[in-house]
Every structure is written in C-alpha cells, then in structure tokens.
Structure 1
Amino acid sequence: MLKNEFLKKMHEYGIKLEDYQIVIDEYRPVSYFLGVYKRKDAWIIYEVGDRNNVDIMYEELSENKIFDEFYQEVLERLHSLGYVTINISKQVIQTSEEYVCNFLQKKYSISKFDAKDIWNDLKYDFHVLNEVKYFALNDKFVPSNDCYKVEGYSAQDIYEKTYLTEIGAYNYLIYLKEDPEQALKDLKNGLPRK
C-alpha cells in the first residue's frame, strides 16, 4: 500500500500513531520509537531501543512494500502494548469507523452525525474503542474474563447496574479512567439501577 493508503487505514481504525510512539516521514532516534522515512531513494523502517540504539528493520525502494511491512509492524506494536487479547484480535482492531458507525445508527436509531460523534468520543481510549468494535461485530460484550476494566468495572458491569445503554456504559468507562474519584462517586450515588 502507499503511504496515503496506510494513513487512511490508521484513521479509519481510530489508531493515533503518535500515542504509541510511531512516526512517519521522520527519523527520531529516541527510545521506543518506531518509524518509517525516506532516505535518498530508499524507505527505512527503524525501531529505537531503550538506550537510543537504532535498529534498521527494513530498507526498501518500493513505497508499496515498505508500507505493507510498516502496517504489520504497527499491528505488532499494538499487540506488544496489550491491545490484542483473546477476543480483541488484530481483525477486531481493523474494524473501520464506517462499520461501527453503521452499527450504532441501526442499533440505537441515531443519525450519522450522532454515530460519528460517539466514535470521536470513543477514540479517547483505544481499549474502549476496540471493545466497541467487538460489540459492533458480535452484538455482545467482550467476555468477562478478557474484557477491559477500569477501577474494577467493565462496560457490562456498568450496563447491568445502571440505566445506561451499552454504548453509554462504554463511554462511562472513559469517564472512569479520566476522573475515577468522581465517576466512582457518581456510580455509587447518582446512577439509578435498571
């Protein structure tokens, strides 16, 4: 794939490369960075170790080949960071914004604009976004033994204990992570049971 195709895919999947120390079109010899850039006629994929030692992983003249390889390296980086689990596979991570938004529109009878707004909110936490992708693909929560939890709560726990919809429960996980003290207080005091 070409660089523009690669960037389009990352956008479609909600992957913010900078959040994972991944850079394009620059050489950044700083610990833990993964990058791709063009040096003279060749494309270079590199990774930087903990002592700023740079490992040139691939060198290729073809933009197509280098970005195919870099795509795989990004998925591997996400795997190594714990985003891939038993149920959140690389295929789940590659679920597009369009697919999720179409699911949300149908399931909750909402507009395209509202679905896009939900997607944008979910992008604040890639774990939660991937759980919603799983939900969109399977119309069920990630099993409790493999789901993402914040302060001991999963989206399913929140859904079952409150009036929130499933998607509201996923958004609440983000709130729990951003402001755990207030979110826990609200959970215990302010959200009525179903």
Structure 2
Amino acid sequence: MTKNDFLKRIESEKLNTGEYIIVVDYLTDEPLVMGCTQENGKWIIYETKERGGYFVIKELPEENEAFDYFYQFLLSRHNYLTQN
C-alpha cells in the first residue's frame, strides 16, 4: 500500500500502538517512535526506545512493500496489546 493508503487505514482502524507515536515523513531519534521513511533510495522501518536513538527493523526497496510490512508490524503490536 502507499503511504497515503497506510495513513488512512491506521486512522480508520485506530490501531493501538501503546505509548509509541507513528512517524512516516522523516527519520527521528525522538523517544518512543515507530516509523517508516525513505532514506537514500530505500524505505526504512524503524523504532526508537524510551531514551531515544533509533534502530532499523527492516529496509525495503519499494514504498508498497515497506508500508505493507509496517502495517503488519503495527497490527501484530496492536493484537498483542489488546490481548494482554
């Protein structure tokens, strides 16, 4: 899915991400962020921890692949949080 499709979908489904915020326009090391952005021709899915600094979860070549993966990642987190 495209970035715009992803944004519409997570808004309509109101996925529970816990304390994390979603960022899709840039790479940040702010605390408690899950994000997907394009850097140097690659799409990067990343996460930051409570004290800041980011780590890359996955790199993908195409926007559709990246946002499909990121959506599934968030959905699994949502399912975990709502079951516990």
TM-score by length of 2: 0.78
SS where residue 59 of structure 2 aligns? strand
Preserved CA contact (<8 Å) 2:15 2:74: no
Q: Which residue of 1 aligns with 2:31?
A: 31
Q: Which residue of 2 aligns with 1:12?
A: 12
CA shift in 2, pair 1:52/1:71, >3 Å: same
Larger radius of gyration: 1
> Which structure shows the higher strand fraction?
2
Preserved CA contact (<8 Å) 2:15 2:75: no
> Which structure shows the higher helix fraction?
1
Aligned amino acid, residue 64 of structure 1: N
- For residues 81-96 of structure 1, the aligned pairs below 5 Å read 82=81, 84-85=82-83
Aligned amino acid, residue 77 of structure 2: R
Q: CA shift at 1:41, angstroms?
A: 1.0
- For residues 26-175 of structure 1, the aligned pairs below 5 Å read 26-80=26-80, 82=81, 84-85=82-83
Taking the aligned partners of 2:27 and 2:52, their CA distance within structure 1 comes to 12
Taking the aligned partners of 1:23 and 1:58, their CA distance within structure 2 comes to 15
CA shift in 2, pair 1:23/1:7, >3 Å: same
Taking the aligned partners of 2:55 and 2:8, their CA distance within structure 1 comes to 27
Higher relative contact order (CA 8 A, sep 6+): 2
Q: Please, which runs of 5 or more residues in structure 1 have no aligned partner? A: 87-194
Taking the aligned partners of 1:75 and 1:29, their CA distance within structure 2 comes to 22
Q: CA shift at 1:14, angstroms?
A: 3.3
SS where residue 29 of structure 1 aligns? coil
Taking the aligned partners of 1:15 and 1:75, their CA distance within structure 2 comes to 7
TM-score by length of 1: 0.38
Aligned residues between the structures? 83
Identity of aligned residues (%): 33
Q: Please, which runs of 5 or more residues in structure 2 have no aligned partner? A: none
- Give the aligned CA root-mean-square deviation in angstroms: 2.3
